Amino acid sequence: MESTLREEVRIFPDPEGLARAAAAIFAGSAERAIAGKGRFSVALSGGSTPLGLFRILGSAYGDTLRWEQVHLFWADERSVPPDHEESNFRHAHEELLSKVLIPASNIHRIRGELPPLEAAAGYAREMVSYFGTAGPPAFDCILLGLGQDGHTASLFPGSDGLKDTGHYALPSYSGAAGNWRVTLTLAVLNNAAEILFLVSGAAKAGIVREVLQKGQRDLYPAGSIRPSRGSITWLLDREAASGLGAC
- Could you tell me the end-to-end alpha-carbon distance of the chain, in angstroms, rounded to an integer? 9
pLDDT tens by residue, 91-112: 999 999 999 999 999 999 999 9
Considering the domain boundaries, does residue 200 fall inside one?
Answer: yes
Instruction: Using alpha carbons, select from 72, 77, 46 the residue that is nearest to residue 170.
Output: 77
- Whether residue 215 is contained in a domain is answered as yes
pLDDT for residue 245: 77
165 occurs within a structural domain: yes
Residue 81 in domain: yes
pLDDT tens, residue by residue, 207-242: 999 999 877 888 999 999 999 889 999 999 999 999
Assess if residue 79 is contained within a domain: yes
Question: Within a domain: residue 223?
Answer: yes
| Domain CATH for 32 | 3.40.50.1360
> Looking at the chain, how many residues does it have?
247
List the domain range (segments joined by +) for residue 58. 16-184+194-227
Sheet containing 70-74: order of strands: 7-12, 231-237, 194-199, 141-144, 40-44, 70-74
Find the DSSP H helices in the chain.
Answer: 15-37, 50-59, 88-95, 116-131, 186-189, 205-212
Question: What is the C-alpha to C-alpha distance for residues 117 and 232, in angstroms, rounded to an integer?
Answer: 29
Arithmetic mean of pLDDT over the chain: 95
Please state, as a whole number, how many other Cβ atoms lie within 10 Å of the Cβ of residue 197: 26
Specify burial of residue 36 (Cβ count, 10 A radius: 0-12, 13-18, 19+).
Answer: exposed
* Any domain includes 7: no
Question: What per-residue confidence (pLDDT) applies to 2?
Answer: 45
- Total domain count, the chain: 1
Q: Is the pLDDT of residue 203 over 90?
A: yes
Asked whether residue 24 is domain-assigned, the answer is yes
